Chains A and B, each alone.
Chain A
Amino acid sequence: MDNEEAIDRPETRAINWLASVSGDVHFWVPTLVLIGGLLLLRWVS
């Protein structure tokens, strides 16, 4: 009961949502590729 109420709170939902994103490999792979792309662009330009 207490746990369910805690999960339903907006601030808890936001934390869960952020944790889901930051723990998702689908987020980190494109992010790292983007950083590599920016470095390559700096070199070729």
Chain B
Amino acid sequence: MGQLSSPATAPGPAVLERVRTLQRVGVLCGIAAGAWLGAAEVPTKLVTTGISPVLISFAMVAGVFLGRWSLPAMVRGTSGIRADIVEAPHLVIWAIIAGCLWSVANTLTIFAIRDLGLSVAFPLWNTNGLIGILWGVLFFGELHHAGWRRWGAVGGGAAIIFVGGMLLARASSSQIASHVAVRGIAAALGAGVLWGSMYIPYRKAYLSGMNPLSFVSFFTIGELGMMTALAVVYMGGFHNLYRQLSGAQDVLFWLLAAGFVWVIGDIFQQYAVKYIGVSRGIPISNSNQLWGLLWGAVAFGEFRGWQHGAVAGAIWGSVLMALGLAAISFSVVDNSEYLKWVEAAEREHRRYGIDIEFVRSGMEGRASTPPQRRTWLDWMLVAMATGAFVWTGTRAHWPSLALDGTAAIVLLALCLALLAACATALWKVTRFN
């Protein structure tokens, strides 16, 4: 049986240098993911304009579906996606489960935002990073043989995140009726557990050599399927869903756009998980908490009307959580821990009979097959997604929300700068593999 590398032997200098480069790219991807995932939550503020939370979630997932087929088709082509799935067909099951988890978690966050507000709900569901660390350690050999310093950084970071989350929960409960706060906190923490567990399929896929752009294409089938089922059940049938969608035509574009923006953040998050693991990639990308705080406080003025002590609590809570995340993020993987990742990849190779070259090249950010040409199907997917955005865009009206335009433009410019930097790095180092 071929092996990725012997567990008893350290990888060669060339492989180690490659791994270090990939880790730097992974950290950059995590930072860009944080910015874009944070920006994607902004349109969910529409929940305060009287639209059903389930309808908002459904429309966002429709935007996500458009993004998750059109972007991979444009960047890599559907032929490349097909080639990946032939190598590891069992991963379709995990992609669909992950998509279902995403939809339920996203719907829970809409309820949490409604009850708690964006700037408080955000850090609570970002406890998903802690859940992700737990699964990364238990199932994928992350932090094994990592040494007491790295464990200290991760354990200390986790403790700080917990304290920060508690501060934010206290700040929220002092401003909101207690029964609403309990429901909102339960929804936000529940979303955290679901999203944290969604990283099991992510990590499994990338240790198996799967390309992130292929994985998200099937992920979104579970996502749209689950969300459609939820929308039909909670809104009383297809007819009601259609009626409410028709009635929300003027804001549909913004919700589709939110889904699309989320896809950009999510794709970067997938690359971060691939190259630095769940236990580091998710905490870094959870810097979307800070972006959520910035959007909520600066662009939407959410803190207006709050008492001084509550605002201070929310700010200190967010700063503590960010410090905890930074401590976790900068505990880099050393050789012995990387060998544990290799062992976890070997488990997938043995259990599911995946081609060893596919697994190895995936872990090293190289293509296992030559680049595929774009086909008519790829361009058709891009054209359909563009058409959907243009059609809803012509019917869109600016929602009646108080928004600081200058602050919004500055935040958007920062997101675009990170997008450019990250896409360039990914192309140069991995050709999006």
Contacts and interface: CB of A to CB of B under 8 A. Distances in A.
A24 B347 CA distance: 11
Most A C-beta atoms less than 10 A away, residue of B53, B135, B190: B190
A2 to B, nearest CB: 20
A39 to B, nearest CB: 9
Interface in B223-269: 230, 234
Given A30-B201, A45-B234, A40 B97 contact: no
B57 to A, nearest CB: 10
Contact of B194 (A26, A33, A44, A45): A33
* Interface magnitude class on chain B: 20 to 34
B101 A40 contact: no
Contact of B90 (A20, A25, A37, A44): A20
B197 A40 contact: no
Contacts of A45: 53-54, 111, 234
A13 B104 CA distance: 33
A40 B198 CA distance: 16
Contacts of B90: 17, 20-21
Contacts of A40: 108, 186-187, 190
B243 to A, nearest CB: 19
Given A25-B139, A40-B108, A30 B351 contact: no
A44 B90 CA distance: 34
Interface residues of A, number: 20
A12 interface: no
B105 interface: yes
Most B C-beta atoms less than 10 A away, residue of A38, A43, A45: A45
Contacts of A1: none
29 contacts: A17-B90, A20-B352, A21-B90, A24-B351, A26-B139, A26-B204, A27-B93, A27-B94, A27-B97, A30-B97, A30-B200, A31-B97, A33-B193, A34-B97, A34-B100, A34-B194, A34-B197, A36-B190, A37-B105, A37-B193, A40-B108, A40-B186, A40-B187, A41-B104, A43-B186, A44-B183, A45-B54, A45-B111, A45-B234
